[in-house]
């Protein structure tokens, strides 16, 4: 690396005057290992040169995460293991892993699929959603006085009604009612 760029690996920013570090790295310490361009993790060393402890398991070269072991060799006593003979997986429900019967079954009777969301499988997840029945704040639950619709019978029709196609469906009628709720007739 040239002296005009930052000392740390892959940093392209220019070094500050009279130093080998850029503005971002100015307060970070450099690894004490000769020729190393990493920043310190612990004890004056980067993780590559001993800043992190290694797993205490024989032959393992991974970093220790839980106390003195890596995540593969650490045994967490608070987590129960599957009760099935020879299984080393974590238990979910009824002291078994998913493979050995510790999964949650779908709430729909006769369905043996694994429940993924809200107690239902993917196929039956629509049953777990709230109901949208008519009368429960649906778009058709509107208080409209039918007296405001006297133009429908033909005698009192506004001028624009002649331009409307004669096919009127229930949905169109309901949309007209919802649109005319405030009394205006477009």
| 155 and 125 housed in the same domain | no
Task: Report in angstroms the alpha-carbon separations of 62 from 40, 56, 67, 68, 124.
Answer: 18, 9, 13, 11, 43
- Rounded to an integer, what distance in angstroms lies between the CA atom of residue 130 and that of residue 107? 15
- What is the residue range of 85's domain? 79-129
| 124 and 84 housed in the same domain | yes
The pLDDT value recorded for residue 1 is 43
| 141 and 113 housed in the same domain | no
Q: Considering the domain boundaries, does residue 143 fall inside one?
A: yes
Q: Considering the domain boundaries, does residue 71 fall inside one?
A: no
Q: Considering the domain boundaries, does residue 172 fall inside one?
A: yes
Q: Considering the domain boundaries, does residue 175 fall inside one?
A: yes
The answer to whether 7 and 15 have CB atoms below 8 angstroms apart is: yes
The pLDDT value recorded for residue 138 is 44
The pLDDT value recorded for residue 147 is 46
| 138 and 100 housed in the same domain | no
| 136 and 125 housed in the same domain | no
- Rounded to an integer, what distance in angstroms lies between the CA atom of residue 124 and that of residue 116? 10
Q: Counting Cβ atoms within 10 Å, is residue 139 exposed (0-12), middle (13-18) or buried (19+)?
A: exposed
The pLDDT value recorded for residue 153 is 54
Give the global pTM. Answer: 0.35
| 96 and 142 housed in the same domain | no
Q: Considering the domain boundaries, does residue 20 fall inside one?
A: no
Q: Considering the domain boundaries, does residue 100 fall inside one?
A: yes
For residue 106, give every residue at least 6 positions away whose Cβ sits within 8 Å of its Cβ, in sequence order, or none. 112, 113, 114, 115, 119, 120, 121, 123, 124
| 136 and 184 housed in the same domain | yes
For residue 113, give every residue at least 6 positions away whose Cβ sits within 8 Å of its Cβ, in sequence order, or none. 105, 106, 121, 122, 123, 124
The pLDDT value recorded for residue 162 is 53
The answer to whether 121 and 114 have CB atoms below 8 angstroms apart is: yes
The pLDDT value recorded for residue 23 is 93
Per-residue model confidence as pLDDT tens for the chain (186 residues): 445 899 999 999 999 999 999 999 999 999 999 999 999 988 899 988 888 888 888 999 888 887 888 888 877 666 788 898 999 888 887 888 888 888 788 888 888 888 887 888 888 887 766 544 444 444 444 444 444 555 555 555 555 555 555 555 555 666 666 665 444 554
Q: Considering the domain boundaries, does residue 54 fall inside one?
A: no
Q: Name the domain count of the chain.
A: 2
| 117 and 148 housed in the same domain | no
The pLDDT value recorded for residue 140 is 46
| 142 and 184 housed in the same domain | yes
Q: Considering the domain boundaries, does residue 118 fall inside one?
A: yes
| 98 and 121 housed in the same domain | yes
The pLDDT value recorded for residue 16 is 94
């Amino acid at each position: 690396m040239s002296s005009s760029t930052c000392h740390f690996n892959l940093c392209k920013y220019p070094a500050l005057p009279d130093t080998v570090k850029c503005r971002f790295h100015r307060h970070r310490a450099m690894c004490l290992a000769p020729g190393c361009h990493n920043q310190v993790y612990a004890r004056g060393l980067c993780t590559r040169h001993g800043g992190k402890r290694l797993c205490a398991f024989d032959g393992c070269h991974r970093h220790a995460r839980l106390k003195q072991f890596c995540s593969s060799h650490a045994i967490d006593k608070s987590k129960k293991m599957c009760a099935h003979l020879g299984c080393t997986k974590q238990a979910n429900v009824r002291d078994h892993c998913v493979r050995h019967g510790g999964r949650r079954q779908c709430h729909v009777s006769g369905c043996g699929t694994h429940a993924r969301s809200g107690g239902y499988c993917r196929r039956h997840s629509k049953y777990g959603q709230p109901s949208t029945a008519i009368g429960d704040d649906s778009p058709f639950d509107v208080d409209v006085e039918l007296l405001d619709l006297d133009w429908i019978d033909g005698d009192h029709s506004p001028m624009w009604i002649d331009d409307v196609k004669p096919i009127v469906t229930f949905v169109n009628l309901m949309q007209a009612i919802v649109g005319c709720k405030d009394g205006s007739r477009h």
